[in-house]
Structure 1
């Protein structure tokens, strides 16, 4: 190509780019769907070994799997008790059926074509990816709104739709076999944000209100985000004349959809005054909040300070109504101090980010850091565009809020990453646009910025390599672990993996159905992979049973059998070096579990031999209640 042909080539390229841009803008839904399909196929191929072996790595995933199968086998719609945990009364599970519906539908669909075990595996693989599509649609709407009408704005959505691939902790909530409800809640949180900044105030209010109500129907984990979203709706009404056109449909849809979800999805146990799930408490609170917003939106208040005073009065009244009637709901779990100390304090996700390893913190915070820089850039660039400035401020405040929650609990990490995507994607889009439209100096700076953003997007795989190169270049090396510490860590990782595997646990089905006393964190996996029952799972409503198990392992051997008999346990399953067991050993070195690990086996524990060619990672004992102490 010579210099004379360059202008003609550039003109043709611009012509076809304009056609492609118009096509992408018209058919963005289908393009987003195709991108989602590509991600789905890639994740299914990557996770196929886990799918084949039914690797439900989280306790909640295992309980969800059993819950859906029990429902399909005839358990009632409103009966969510898990009768194979602590039978015969069962464990009180605080979820709803809403997230069960897509998983059950996929199970029934695939069972029409393949045998049941494979059908259930395929359903568990695909179900978590459904909310990912909703997340991508919401991110597209947010990105398009933030980009405005600038040059190349119609391509900004592509950066946001692809950005979840850089949010590894957030993306993990949508991975195959991750059938718990967190993916749906995260997607609905972004849907709420899309509604909060929608230019169509009626549609935005309804979308934000309904998505908030659906999130409440699923669980209360996102309640602080939903409350923050409602506060942003009210703030917009205070400072923008006419914003009541969003607040009115938001209040109506929030109150109405919450009430409807209560009727449709609240279990028998959730019909009581409970704080941790959709219940009469939250129907009343959201009903009062929605009614207050409707009232405020109809008041003829012309000045912002009048609206502020009125909003503070109504908000204070709703808050006082909540505090006077249900002050216990200010604490998230309502568990005893003893259970908090013995059990909840040892859960890693319940600890702040300051208590986590640097290798986890740095990649986790990479995307929020880019989001913060993008937010500051956008606020400066759009300082004279009040409409888009408010949209960015809305997204930015929620991003900062979610990041701040990391200093309370690590489990805020997925939300912090996903809520950082809109400003981070905007920054990436602006940098790429500057490469093609800016001056030479701007292009160079934009190219450097694009490379940095790309490197940060790959923080998870790159961070270990960067640390290794830094140590090699500087000659610094971390203090080596003692061989005993390395061996102990390896043993714990090995036990945590092997004791949960399907081949190891399905051997237990050689025995008639019985109740097995084992680790709290292993109970859900046992009932998901065998026909046996377990004593407990890590669910706070069943705190008395969890405490019994801790007392049984921490106390003397003589105290174990009465506790096991209380819960009708026939067998004791011990997995040496299982992570939970190391807590009992460390906390109570003279307790029953520590004695077992030292090889001190009471005479009333009789080893059970199972027929298998593999070396089992656990030992099973029959509890002989008739034997003398």
Structure 2
């Protein structure tokens, strides 16, 4: 029987409310999908794209249009050289295949729209199935299954990654992490699933390294299992190590150009990550081999420590640059005006300074779940403790990561959903009926906690005295820049977050986009907007800029504050220099467009 199937002859009807759990999961999926789709239905799915979603669509179009598989540059960003992207083709490939499959039936535009709905919905369905399977695996019972799925549908921090238009990569990474946890929970009894567990970890890292702390935590848990138990789990541990190492070594040449195999790329799948994953898998295989001849706990501890020292030492020698701060290479002005304002990268202390009312919705549920799961681990029989360990370890890692970058809270909430329901079923078996757990889950869900935080905003404002911040810029969507299609192809200086939208909607080139490898383009844009007219004119000339775009509805207050006589400030108050000619393209005046007079 498949572990994703919830069919069982032993599930009492009273636990299911008279209906099979699969029915309720399907109903919750439909309800959640409709809820997530409402904004896209109202405003159009293309306007639901985030900057990263738009950039992914550009990459997919380029791939379909003939750009090379190993060519990871965005050639229309920061001309003339382009910008190297740190994303892999693993997400581009299925999106391109879906578009090419449907294009003959409904045309390119409609096909893209369908893909923007279907892809996130498919991954959302997979996420709910995995959450249900993990909840059942933890308890060998159907009781926590429906409550876990209810929690997943109410996980606000994660749901943004499953809305229509969400095609960047975070939803796939969440699914792969859930799959890895489910497979890891069965490692003790299944060699094939042990190997697949290693494969899912490699696939996630090949897409992006955001889940590295959680995947590393699962790997450490498997290492710990073998060190503690030895021979009874040797085949399974070896299979995990082989799956992790082999898949990493196969994915590298399949995804990376040969010129990058030894490059110190610390922000994406590349040599440093392959060293850790392949090296870790091979180390585990060596430990298993040593244990065949020296079968003692002490020898396993010594061999683990020695191999870990060699692996970490090799990493530090070969890729010492990877231990530097991730944005150390950026121009200080880019850090000040961009990095420090990236919403998903802010820390918990910074979140408390800016919008403390959002903290309960992001952090309380995962932390609460961690506490309950640890108690469930303590209360469990010895034979069940590892499955709890491989749930707790990645959850703890994600919570720790989210303290520095709030993006970790999304995956933490989704991982917490099955663990919370399962831990309550273990800790309070007399209370744990499906109905009781559903009610309690709804009360403590991230959705309910977010509402509680908003209700408590006046009190939190008194306690934390948050810094005043402006609202989100109204200039964000593809329709906002659609009028630029009327202009002849040229090079555009536009706000950072408008760059991907312009690339999707037009054939223009842009200088700035919200990507840390775009340091040159972002620096050029910021220095242009800070510059007084003579210096601004020189920058425009040096960069061969054709058009300048600003958000007339909300000028950049931070730049204006730093340079009251700079170009941004002058354009905002209607005092453009003579080398810029205003073009009235946008009837709503959300964006302002100037042609550069040569």
TM above 0.5, yes or no, is yes
CA distance in 2, matches of 1:17, 1:227: 35
Could you list the per-position Cα deviations for residues 414-466 of structure 1 after superposition, in whole angstroms to 9, with x for gaps in the alignment? 122122123212145458962478xxxxx9xx95x875543112415632675
Q: Which residue of 1 aligns with 2:484?
A: 508
Could you list the per-position Cα deviations for residues 302-327 of structure 1 after superposition, in whole angstroms to 9, with x for gaps in the alignment? 33232111101001100001001111
| TM-fit CA distance, 1:189 | 1.4
Structure 1 gap segments, 5+ residues each:
1-14, 438-442, 480-484
| TM-fit CA distance, 1:337 | 5.8
CA contact (8 A) 2:366 2:413 kept: yes
1:588 partnered with 2:563: yes
1:251 partnered with 2:251: no
CA distance in 2, matches of 1:166, 1:138: 16
Q: Secondary structure at the match of 2:548?
A: strand
Q: Which residue of 2 aligns with 1:9?
A: none
Q: Where do 1:141-160 residues align within 5 Å?
A: 141-148=133-140, 153-160=141-148
Q: Where do 1:121-200 residues align within 5 Å?
A: 121-148=113-140, 153-198=141-186, 199-200=188-189
| TM-fit CA distance, 1:398 | 2.2
| TM-fit CA distance, 1:343 | 3.0
Q: Which residue of 1 aligns with 2:590?
A: 617
Q: Which residue of 2 aligns with 1:209?
A: 198
- CA-based RMSD of the aligned residues comes to 3.2
For residue 353 of structure 1, the aligned residue among 348, 354, 359 is 348
Q: Which residue of 1 aligns with 2:329?
A: 335
CA contact (8 A) 2:131 2:152 kept: no
CA distance in 2, matches of 1:326, 1:262: 17
Name the TM-score, length of structure 1 as normaliser.
0.84
For residue 550 of structure 2, the aligned residue among 545, 551, 574 is 574
In structure 2, do the counterparts of structure 1 residues 168 and 287 end up closer, same or farther at CA, with 3 Å as the change threshold? same
Q: Secondary structure at the match of 2:84?
A: coil
Q: Secondary structure at the match of 2:219?
A: helix
Q: Which residue of 2 aligns with 1:413?
A: 409
In structure 2, do the counterparts of structure 1 residues 127 and 404 end up closer, same or farther at CA, with 3 Å as the change threshold? same
CA distance in 2, matches of 1:146, 1:281: 34
Q: Which residue of 2 aligns with 1:100?
A: 92
Q: Which residue of 2 aligns with 1:299?
A: 290
Structure 2 gap segments, 5+ residues each:
1-8
1:549 partnered with 2:525: yes
Name the TM-score, length of structure 2 as normaliser.
0.88
Q: Secondary structure at the match of 1:299?
A: helix
For residue 222 of structure 2, the aligned residue among 230, 233, 255 is 233
In structure 2, do the counterparts of structure 1 residues 333 and 229 end up closer, same or farther at CA, with 3 Å as the change threshold? farther
CA contact (8 A) 2:86 2:268 kept: yes
CA distance in 2, matches of 1:376, 1:17: 27
Q: Secondary structure at the match of 2:593?
A: strand
CA distance in 2, matches of 1:283, 1:60: 25
Q: Secondary structure at the match of 2:238?
A: helix
Q: Which fold has the larger relative contact order, with Cα–Cα distance below 8 Å and residues 6 or more apart in sequence?
A: 2
Q: Secondary structure at the match of 2:372?
A: helix
| TM-fit CA distance, 1:60 | 1.0
| TM-fit CA distance, 1:185 | 1.0
CA distance in 2, matches of 1:244, 1:566: 63
Q: Secondary structure at the match of 2:113?
A: helix
CA distance in 1, matches of 2:103, 2:212: 36
| TM-fit CA distance, 1:363 | 1.4
| TM-fit CA distance, 1:269 | 7.1
CA distance in 2, matches of 1:450, 1:69: 43
Q: Which residue of 2 aligns with 1:366?
A: 364
The count of aligned residue pairs is 577
Could you list the per-position Cα deviations for residues 456-515 of structure 1 after superposition, in whole angstroms to 9, with x for gaps in the alignment? 1241563267538xx7xxxx7967xxxxx99x94xx44xx22x23333321111111111
CA contact (8 A) 2:194 2:240 kept: yes
For residue 61 of structure 1, the aligned residue among 53, 64, 69 is 53
